[in-house]
Structure 1
């Protein structure tokens, strides 16, 4: 049985997709710390960041950088923060979080968005890729 992220990659669970290539996938977090909070994952399910082989690790970071740059051009923020925590889902994921205040990195501060806001924002970020 795959993780919730594997199910998203396979299309079994809907998401607000931002980007995808042969090895990696990015989508908006549905419980965002800030407007535009995006998750970047390897398609191959791996539990821990340091379990990735070096090529997969570097590939995930390069993919995350590309997505983060598009995110920074799409959302009004001072910078895009990055976090890899990995306790809540056993599938490596990089959090890209538009930041204007440190509280947006705490994972205790959440914002609400409508389905329409998610759709429009995902499209806006995709346009910047």
Structure 2
């Protein structure tokens, strides 16, 4: 059964995709830690990041780096957080988000109530930066 991430990547569920290539996709999360919080996901449905082939892991991290640099510029953040947690969805993914303090790495602070309009605005800003 496809994961929710595969359904977003394949267009079966709505998503604000900011990156898509033949190996990796990236899209905004609907419960961000900070504005612009993006998930970088391999297209292959592999549960744990440690099971990714080295070449695919390299591609995931290269895309995470590109997304992170764009987030830093777009949101004028002093740092960009990168977290591999792996408990929410059984599909390897990297959380990339602008960060101003360590407390923003606390997933209990994720905001599931961000408006669609705000997410749309962040999506556009990130796409423009990646342009």
Alignment TM-score, normalising by the size of structure 1: 0.95
**2:122 alignment counterpart:** 121
**2:36 alignment counterpart:** 36
| Structure 1 runs, 4 residues or longer, greater than 4 Å off | none
Shift of 1:47: 0.4
| Structure 2 residue ranges without an equivalent (≥5) | none
Shift of 1:71: 1.1
| Structure 1 residue ranges without an equivalent (≥5) | none
1:98-113 aligned at under 5 Å gives the runs 98-111=98-111, 112-113=113-114
Structure having the larger proportion of residues in helix: 2
Query: Is 2:96 the counterpart of 1:93?
Result: no
The 8 Å contact of residues 97 and 105 in structure 1, kept in 2 or not, is answered as no
For the residues of structure 2 that align with 1:29 and 1:38, how far apart are their CA atoms? 6
The 8 Å contact of residues 46 and 52 in structure 1, kept in 2 or not, is answered as yes
Shift of 1:62: 0.5
Summarize deviations over 1:69-88 as a string: whole Å, max 9, x none: 11111113221110001011
Q: CA RMSD in A?
A: 1.0
Shift of 1:110: 2.4
